[in-house]
A and B are shown apart, each in its own frame.
Chain A
Amino acid sequence: MDLFEYQGKQYFARFGIPTSAGGVADTVDEAVEQAERAGYPVVVKAQVKVGGRGKAGGVKLAADAAEVRTHAGNILGLDIKGHVVKRLWVEHASDIAREYYASFTLDRAAKKHLGMLSAKGGVDIEEVAATDPDAIAMVHIDPTEGLDAAAARRWVDAAGLDEKARGQAAALLVDLYRCYVEGDCDLAEINPLILTTEGTVHALDAKVTLDDNAAFRHPEWEEYAATDTEDVREARARERGLNYIGLEGSVGIIANGAGLAMSTLDVVNQVGGSAANFLDIGGGASADVMAAALEVINSDPSVKSIFVNIFGGITRVDEVAKGVVEALSRVDIASPIVLRLDGTNAEAGREILAPHLSDRLVAEPTMVAAARRAVELAGGPR
């Protein structure tokens, strides 16, 4: 789960990582209130989970209340790469002397934590990595050892941060590592991490991705989950406990298993169609789950056909077939459905389905054939 900047900064604060004084605003009036509290000049920042908001006009400096009103009014409702701004973060504007970069993430190849620190911050780090890799000081951290103050200090020295920033930066990195580990982050990134003209170091931005698997030990994440998605389809699926990702196409997808679901999207694409979603209903496929999945897909107006792709392992296909028939008796589906059922007891499953087949419920023997049929029913290949 990705956090908004303001949530990331609030999360940082839990671990003692300094940020600019500021607050959240959903209206122009609230923005002025927050600006008065933070002290002018302030920066008014659009809260969207997408990069490039500065270039899109989503970050503005304001010297007084009148300017806050103007900018907040312009930014609220602004469409930034498909993300409509509903919330602002208003913070005291810092006098920036230097911009750095700092992050922790998991290096899957090394199977250790990777810390990246650079004296060249405030720009796209992937670009720095490509054009000037020596500008990034990388450290691999063994999770059994962690990051102590001395190692952090050596790292800061290696990165060549300004002398007067080094002590504060090292301490901040130890806190950021703690935030990353104890806070169960997939990514904890500060870009830019700044040195102010007054000589203090703090986080000017916050990019935090939380590991959904750790939600069970973080009750405080519930507030983030509430704002996690703007996609109504995804919100609806989450309510039903489904593993769903909304996409742009016209073929609704239901599959069991993440790999098979991904593969189903690919095959639909290969035959000239495009998927409206990713939906993994897990290893089993009970009538309840199938009905919930069909409901979510049925509520998506861009869906023109539905491709149900099930491979029975432990869950036998005849049971899946019964689940499909029962789900269809409960939910009134607008789009034609193409079924591909294979695996354990596939024959018995097909027999159960046979009397229910029609031009609205079609069975195909293979994934590719089923994908072709689903794409045809959705209006043909592109």
Chain B
Amino acid sequence: MSIFVDERTTVVVQGISPTSQGLYHGLRNRDYGTKVVAGTNPNRGGEEIEGIPVYATVAEAVEATGANASFISVPPRFAAAAIIEAAEAGIPFVVCITEGIPAQDEALVYNRLVREFPGTRLLGPNCPGIISPGKCNIGITSGDIALPGGPVGIVSRSGTLTYQALHELSQQGVGQTTCVGIGGDPVPGTSFIDCLTAFEADPDTRAVMMIGEIGGSAEEEAAEFIGSSMTKPVVSYIAGVTAPAGRKMGHAGAIISGSKGTAQAKMDALAAAGVTVAQNPTEAGEAMVEIVRKLG
């Protein structure tokens, strides 16, 4: 099995045009085998682009195709409205990879989803998306570096470190159930704990790799959850041990504020919860391979 997306997932790509990022990534996802069933564009309803039927709105796309996931890669100024449009159309799983959405917009959208659209899960923004190898890929992860069959689930705040983790495991013949990029922004729609909960419940996932970074306290909260509620082994890597305080390290959410959000505090919390804490991505991959070999 997998979490959040599988072979039954059908995707509507929001903001599709012959030159849009949405089309580029949507076609890549379709090439991987993802069921991309519709696109939306207010000015192109009724058209077909690269074999993808285009509807003016998400609601129309859902009515016509029954799409149960949406993919958003529109520019930052349009992203919040796009997420709400998907939620209003009843889409249960929305992936938004857009980087650069103002934090105020994110906080507002998050709380609107919680209050008005509890049936919608938002993944991202500012994330690489999600891949259940061999089943479904929504986002920008390269399908070539993922290996179907499990038993490892991956959850990460960073794109390239996620690819690195996938690659290291795949090269050693260790497959993945699902790899979720929750994104590097301050208010992610889906949290570490949401993913850990799903992996814990997924019978095919037998171990979890969690990749965090400086800023906020999501890793500490995850550590508490792992300590109290997880039976499956977890390997973790946290980026930013040497990051200076007060600077946003590429990701909007990767900032040490005052004395809060340091990598060391996160690593300590995770280690105390029984997590195997690696010092670099390679070490994390090696530790996971060893755990999987012992699981047999």
Binding site for B on A (CB under 8 A): 2, 106, 108-109, 111-113, 126, 142-144, 181, 184, 186, 211-214, 216-217, 243, 245, 247, 255-263, 265-270, 274-275, 278, 280, 283, 311-314, 342-344, 366-368
From 177 to 225 in chain B, residues with beta carbon under 8 angstroms from any chain A beta carbon are 184, 186-187, 211, 213-218, 221
* A260, A268, A270: the one within 8 Å of B164 (CB): A260
B283 closest partner in A (C-beta): A368
CA distance A299 to B72 in the complex (A): 39
Contact (A270, B103) CB under 8 Å given A213-B76, A259-B213 = no
In the complex, the answer to whether A263 meets B161 with C-beta atoms within 8 Å is yes
Is B280 among interface residues, defined by CB-CB distance under 8 A?
Answer: yes
Chain B contacts of A312 at CB under 8 A?
A: 142
Chain B residues within 8 Å of chain A by Cβ, number: 64
Chain A contacts of B77 at CB under 8 A?
A: 216-217
CA distance A184 to B77 in the complex (A): 13
Contact (A126, B241) CB under 8 Å given A106-B103, A214-B104 = no
The interface residues of chain A, by DSSP majority, are classed as mixed
In the complex, the answer to whether B112 meets A144 with C-beta atoms within 8 Å is yes
Kindly provide the distance from the CB of A53 to the nearest chain B CB, expressed in whole angstroms: 16
In the complex, the answer to whether A212 meets B280 with C-beta atoms within 8 Å is no
Chain A contacts of B159 at CB under 8 A?
A: 257, 259, 283, 313
Contact (A245, B258) CB under 8 Å given A106-B107, A270-B279, A314-B28 = no
Kindly provide the distance from the CB of B271 to the nearest chain A CB, expressed in whole angstroms: 16
Chain B contacts of A367 at CB under 8 A?
A: 280-282
The residue in A108, A217, A243, A266 that gathers the most chain B C-beta atoms within 10 A of its C-beta is: A108
Q: Mark B255-268, 1 if CB is under 8 A from A, else 0.
A: 00011000100000
In the complex, the answer to whether B161 meets A260 with C-beta atoms within 8 Å is yes
* A213, A261, A268: the one within 8 Å of B100 (CB): A213
In the complex, the answer to whether B145 meets A258 with C-beta atoms within 8 Å is no
Chain A contacts of B70 at CB under 8 A?
A: none
* B221, B254, B279: the one within 8 Å of A262 (CB): B254
* A270, A280, A342: the one within 8 Å of B280 (CB): A270
Chain B contacts of A278 at CB under 8 A?
A: 243, 247, 249-250
B99 closest partner in A (C-beta): A213
In the complex, the answer to whether A265 meets B243 with C-beta atoms within 8 Å is yes
A108 closest partner in B (C-beta): B216
Is B252 among interface residues, defined by CB-CB distance under 8 A?
Answer: yes
CA distance A245 to B251 in the complex (A): 12
Chain B contacts of A283 at CB under 8 A?
A: 140, 159-160
CA distance A256 to B104 in the complex (A): 27
Kindly provide the distance from the CB of B24 to the nearest chain A CB, expressed in whole angstroms: 9
Contact (A259, B242) CB under 8 Å given A143-B111, A216-B76, A311-B160 = no
In the complex, the answer to whether B251 meets A258 with C-beta atoms within 8 Å is yes
In the complex, the answer to whether B142 meets A314 with C-beta atoms within 8 Å is yes
Contact (A262, B250) CB under 8 Å given A106-B107, A216-B77 = yes
Q: Mark B55-93, 1 if CB is under 8 A from A, else 0.
A: 000000000000000000000110000000000000000
In the complex, the answer to whether B158 meets A213 with C-beta atoms within 8 Å is no
In the complex, the answer to whether A344 meets B144 with C-beta atoms within 8 Å is yes
Chain A contacts of B250 at CB under 8 A?
A: 243, 257-259, 261-262, 278, 280
Is B292 among interface residues, defined by CB-CB distance under 8 A?
Answer: no
CA distance A158 to B158 in the complex (A): 41
Chain A contacts of B279 at CB under 8 A?
A: 266, 270
Kindly provide the distance from the CB of B254 to the nearest chain A CB, expressed in whole angstroms: 6
Is B157 among interface residues, defined by CB-CB distance under 8 A?
Answer: yes
In the complex, the answer to whether A343 meets B142 with C-beta atoms within 8 Å is yes
Chain A contacts of B142 at CB under 8 A?
A: 312-314, 343-344
In the complex, the answer to whether A144 meets B108 with C-beta atoms within 8 Å is yes
Is B244 among interface residues, defined by CB-CB distance under 8 A?
Answer: yes
Q: Which 10 A-B residue pairs are closest in the complex by CB-CB distance?
A: A259-B158, A258-B250, A257-B160, A214-B102, A259-B161, A260-B160, A262-B239, A108-B216, A280-B250, A313-B142
In the complex, the answer to whether A262 meets B240 with C-beta atoms within 8 Å is yes
CA distance A268 to B240 in the complex (A): 12
Selected A-B contacts with CB under 8 Å, 19 pairs: A106-B186, A108-B187, A108-B218, A109-B218, A143-B111, A144-B111, A245-B247, A258-B184, A259-B239, A260-B239, A261-B249, A262-B240, A262-B250, A263-B239, A266-B242, A270-B279, A270-B280, A343-B164, A367-B280
CA distance A245 to B103 in the complex (A): 21
* B112, B145, B259: the one within 8 Å of A126 (CB): B259
Is B4 among interface residues, defined by CB-CB distance under 8 A?
Answer: no
Q: Mark B140-183, 1 if CB is under 8 A from A, else 0.
A: 11101100000000001111111110010000000000000000
B115 closest partner in A (C-beta): A144
Contact (A143, B244) CB under 8 Å given A257-B158, A313-B159 = no
In the complex, the answer to whether B249 meets A109 with C-beta atoms within 8 Å is no
In the complex, the answer to whether B214 meets A262 with C-beta atoms within 8 Å is yes
In the complex, the answer to whether B249 meets A262 with C-beta atoms within 8 Å is yes
CA distance A312 to B112 in the complex (A): 36
Chain A contacts of B124 at CB under 8 A?
A: none
CA distance A301 to B101 in the complex (A): 35
* B111, B140, B253, B280: the one within 8 Å of A314 (CB): B140
Kindly provide the distance from the CB of A238 to the nearest chain B CB, expressed in whole angstroms: 14
Chain A contacts of B128 at CB under 8 A?
A: 313
Contact (A213, B239) CB under 8 Å given A257-B158, A258-B254 = no
Chain A contacts of B141 at CB under 8 A?
A: 313
Chain B contacts of A113 at CB under 8 A?
A: 107
The residue in B77, B110, B156, B159 that gathers the most chain A C-beta atoms within 10 A of its C-beta is: B159
CA distance A214 to B279 in the complex (A): 34
In the complex, the answer to whether B258 meets A313 with C-beta atoms within 8 Å is no
In the complex, the answer to whether A247 meets B103 with C-beta atoms within 8 Å is no
